[in-house]
Chain A
Amino acid sequence: MSGKSTAELKVLAAKARLGAVIGTYHAKSGHPGGSLSAADMFTYLYFNEMNVNPSNPADPDRDRFVLSKGHCCPSMYAVMAMKGYFDWDELTRLRHIGAMLQGHPDMKRTPGVDMSSGSLGQGISAACGMALAAKFDNKDYRVYTVLGDGECEEGQVWEAAMFAAHNKLDNLVVIVDQNGLQIDGTVEEVCGIEPLDKKFESFGFEVAKINGHDFDEIKAALDRAKTVKGKPFAILMKTVKGKGVSFMENQVGWHGKACNDEEYAVAVKELEEKIARLEAEV
């Protein structure tokens, strides 16, 4: 593990947010809101948690990541670009004809993407399959998957949760990005999922509830997950949708639209200033 400092992680996460804004702006579409809420977790996973090597993305012993809430790939792509899987400039071709970076993750087109995903509820099952494969093969790699809170309305999520616990997949970490918003409104207005911690606990998970923008809490939860044996681990992280771009924060409307020219200028300025401040602290 390379072990970035918290100050370094903050810089990388701010750059990941900038990448998500750049990508969706150039695509004139995409999902900035959830990309920004999950950016800190993506950054920590790729830089401090997972045993992955961009120069050998198909290593059979690597840890796996499945972005079950596939629409939030713009910031994941930015993190992967910084990690070295592909060039940062690919972000400007996001969602373009022939692009390496598709609107939702595509394992066939993008090096380092472990599973094609985007249809909500499906990624967690694939993550279970990967974790089960490790058990079949007596390998010690771990599998991480990030879900949206709205995604937890999908029945398949709970089929998978049952399966994970029944098969004692203690090499599986299910992370739920609880930014509280989905397309039609707040999650609690649309079709409430709480109490999510009790749901996962009753499905046989060990559960940690954290602030998804606090790297110390992210680290503590992921470290704790490794100590749990015989059951899967869920991390429910409270986040702010649109985190890091002032006018996007906690706004339902920024789920699935890109910045126009004026908004883009403001967002880039905010993030670049933030990056400069954070870099000074490293």
Chain B
Amino acid sequence: MAKTVCKATRESFGIALCEMAKTNKDIVVLDADLAAATKTSIFQNEFPERFRDCGIAEENMLGVAAGLAAAGKIPVAASFAMFATGRAYEQIRNSVAYPQLNVKIAGSHAGISTGEDGATHQCLEDIALMRTLPGMTVLNPADHYEMMEATKAALMLDGPVYIRLGRLAIDSFNDPETYKFELGKGITLHEGNDIAVIASGLVVNEARKAVEALEKEGINARLINIHTIKPIDREIIIKAAQECGQLITVEEHNVIGGLADAVCEVTSAECPVKVTRIGVYDRFGYSGPAWELLEKFGLTETNIKKVIKETVGK
């Protein structure tokens, strides 16, 4: 196992974007005055001729991206998740998703872990918004290595993709020697049949710590990492529902519209089981240090462990 790196996934995204751009000259990048924050600045420094700052004008940025894609380029449009998917939602719907244009939308500073900036910048609805768009691929990678591979896969896919990036530096848990990213395929990180925990994004590592700690207490929970929220891996969810009997979802997103709903849509149709949802319960965030907020919202190891124990009944 390679040593753990502590990196924000926005940075991993910037690095991977740059790597891909070296061999693919069609990749161009747009940002909306947040290049230093979204880390498209890494690309900007290396390929200034293929970078355009659109200024604080996200709606136009998404439209420009659509036009670039219609003319054969591979545009990446980056901003905070809130503004990329919220402000420019209708531009994404009508100018990108409807014509199925090859635009990659990168939403950084997603979730409560955006921290001190508070509710206006803590986007908890981006996955819900993007998931409802026909033909949109929705990615929510969980650590540095996964983000690197997911970014590459997104750029190689011909079609619209939303990729969620985090602000907070987090420890990696995947092993780059063995890690394989397969679009639309969940990854079982821990075997077990007492219950299945299905997590996505930054909280996967918290769920991993919880599951591993509980193993010592005699609870064998299965842990599944869903990096592709759409198209979701139906097979892995149905199998988990059948073999474990009940599920817990964990996400740094409103429980409405995100991973929880994506999982419930599969189980309710194919294998109805009880699904306990860990996430943000239909509310806005507030200012504070990221880890303290994650703790308050029950998205860290402590609460995940507690919920697993309660749910399993041990």
| A residues neighboring B (CB under 8 Å) | 60, 64, 66, 106-108, 114-119, 121-134, 136-137, 155-156, 159-160, 162-163, 166-167
Contacts of B62 in A (CB 8 A): 125
Whether B57 is near chain A, meaning CB under 8 Å from some CB there, is yes
Closest to B49 in A: A136
Contact with A along B58-81 (1 / 0, CB 8 A): 011111111111111101000000
A160 with B63: CB separation less than 8 A = yes
Which of B55, B63, B72, B100 is the one whose CB lies under 8 Å from A126? B63
Whether B268 is near chain A, meaning CB under 8 Å from some CB there, is no
Other 6 A-B pairs with CB < 8 A, given A117-B95, A129-B68: A106-B98, A114-B70, A115-B99, A125-B62, A125-B66, A130-B71
B64 with A163: CB separation less than 8 A = yes
B54 with A126: CB separation less than 8 A = no
Closest to A60 in B: B72
Contacts of B73 in A (CB 8 A): 133, 136-137
B90 with A162: CB separation less than 8 A = no
Whether B38 is near chain A, meaning CB under 8 Å from some CB there, is no
Q: How far is the CB of A120 from chain B (nearest CB, A)?
A: 10
Per CB-CB distance, the 5 closest pairs between chain A and chain B, nearest first, are A129-B67, A125-B63, A133-B71, A159-B60, A126-B67
B63 with A124: CB separation less than 8 A = yes
For window 252-296 of B, CB contacts with A under 8 Å fall at none
Q: How far is the CB of B291 from chain A (nearest CB, A)?
A: 37
Which of A106, A107, A122, A133 is the one whose CB lies under 8 Å from B63? A122
Whether B91 is near chain A, meaning CB under 8 Å from some CB there, is yes
B67 with A128: CB separation less than 8 A = yes
B94 with A129: CB separation less than 8 A = no
Interface CB pairs A-B, < 8 A, 30: A64-B70, A106-B98, A106-B99, A107-B70, A108-B99, A116-B94, A116-B95, A121-B59, A122-B59, A122-B91, A122-B95, A125-B66, A125-B67, A125-B91, A126-B63, A129-B65, A129-B67, A129-B68, A136-B50, A136-B68, A136-B73, A156-B63, A159-B54, A159-B55, A159-B57, A160-B60, A162-B55, A162-B57, A163-B60, A163-B64
Whether B28 is near chain A, meaning CB under 8 Å from some CB there, is yes
Which of A125, A129, A167 is the one whose CB lies under 8 Å from B69? A129
Task: Known contacts A122-B91, A136-B50, A162-B57; decide if A128 and B98 are in contact (CB<8 Å).
Answer: no
A116 with B98: CB separation less than 8 A = yes
Task: Known contacts A114-B70, A156-B63; decide if A107 and B99 are in contact (CB<8 Å).
Answer: yes
B64 with A129: CB separation less than 8 A = yes
Closest to B73 in A: A133
